[in-house]
Every structure is written in structure tokens, then in C-alpha cells.
């Protein structure tokens, strides 16, 4: 792994943390729509995945498709089993970025904030453990 890979990964994770900070302040659905909340959750996940990919010295596509990013890591032998719901947020970067969120189920915001926080901590641990 080159120094630039780790530096790039840190930059991405820093941006993911900024999205998570915004997300953490959007618990009130009366003031922040599900689409906006979901978009920041997706951005947090996308940037953290790209950080993980970068620190592994791999290349990621210019894409918002969380599934494609997860596949790169799985193909590299990385264990994402603790984070089975990451791919659920792709729709907020693509479909619901331009149209209304149409679901009978409200997003559990507290759960989404906690899951993304846990994922960020996991990726931070990976970065911290690399030479």
C-alpha cells in the first residue's frame, strides 16, 4: 500500500464522517425528509466503502452503487458480514435523489445513525491498523 492510498482513504473517511455528522442532526422527520436523510446515510456508506477499498490499494468506480463497492471488497476476501444492510441505501443516491421516497415503512433514523456510526468505526479501525 502506498502512502497516497492511505492518505486518500483518510480523506474519504473524513468526508464520510462529515456526512454522518449531518445525518446525526436529521432525526426530526418533520424538518428533514426521508430522501435527504437517506442520501446522507448512503453518502456516509459510499465514502467509507471507498476508503476501505483505497486503503487496500484497490480501485473503485465512479459510482454511487454501494453493491458494486461491496462486491470489490468481497472479491478481495474482506468480511462484510457484520454489515448486511449497506446495499439498502443505494436507492437514496440514485432513485430517491430525484423522486419522492415511496415506502410505507419509515426509516428508523436512530438505527441508521447507529449502523453507519458502527461501520465508520470499523473502517477507521482498518485504516488505523495499516502500516
Residue with cell 436529521: 26
Least confident window among 2-6, 88-92, 105-109? 2-6
3-state secondary structure (DSSP) of residue 128: helix
Domain boundaries, the chain: 3-129
Q: Which CATH architecture has domain 3-129?
A: Up-down Bundle (1.20)
Q: What share of the chain is helix, strand, coil (3-state, %, to 5)?
A: 65, 0, 35
pLDDT at 95: 63
DSSP 2-13: -HHHHHHHHHHH
pLDDT band at 3 (very low <50, low <70, confident <90, very high): low
> CB neighbours of 89 closer than 8 A, spacing ≥ 6?
38, 41, 42, 45, 66
* pTM of the entire predicted model: 0.90
Question: pLDDT band at 83, cuts 50/70/90?
Answer: very high
pLDDT tens figures, 84-97 = 999 888 888 766 65
Terminal CA-to-CA distance of the chain, rounded, Å?
8
Contact 38/92 with Cβ under 8 angstroms? yes
C-alpha distances out from residue 87 to 3, 18, 130, Å: 29, 20, 26
Amino acid at each position: 500500500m502506498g502512502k497516497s492510498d492511505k492518505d486518500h482513504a483518510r480523506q474519504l473517511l473524513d468526508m464520510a464522517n462529515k456526512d454522518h455528522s449531518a445525518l446525526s442532526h436529521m432525526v426530526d422527520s418533520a424538518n428533514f425528509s426521508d430522501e435527504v436523510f437517506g442520501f446522507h446515510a448512503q453518502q456516509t456508506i459510499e465514502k467509507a466503502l471507498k476508503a476501505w477499498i483505497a486503503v487496500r490499494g484497490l480501485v473503485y468506480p465512479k459510482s454511487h452503487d454501494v453493491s458494486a463497492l461491496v462486491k470489490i471488497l468481497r472479491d478481495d476476501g474482506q468480511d462484510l458480514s457484520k454489515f448486511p444492510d449497506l446495499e439498502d441505501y443505494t436507492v437514496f443516491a440514485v432513485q430517491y435523489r430525484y423522486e419522492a421516497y415511496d415506502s410505507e415503512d419509515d426509516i428508523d433514523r436512530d438505527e441508521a445513525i447507529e449502523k453507519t456510526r458502527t461501520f465508520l468505526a470499523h473502517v477507521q479501525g482498518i485504516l488505523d491498523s495499516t502500516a
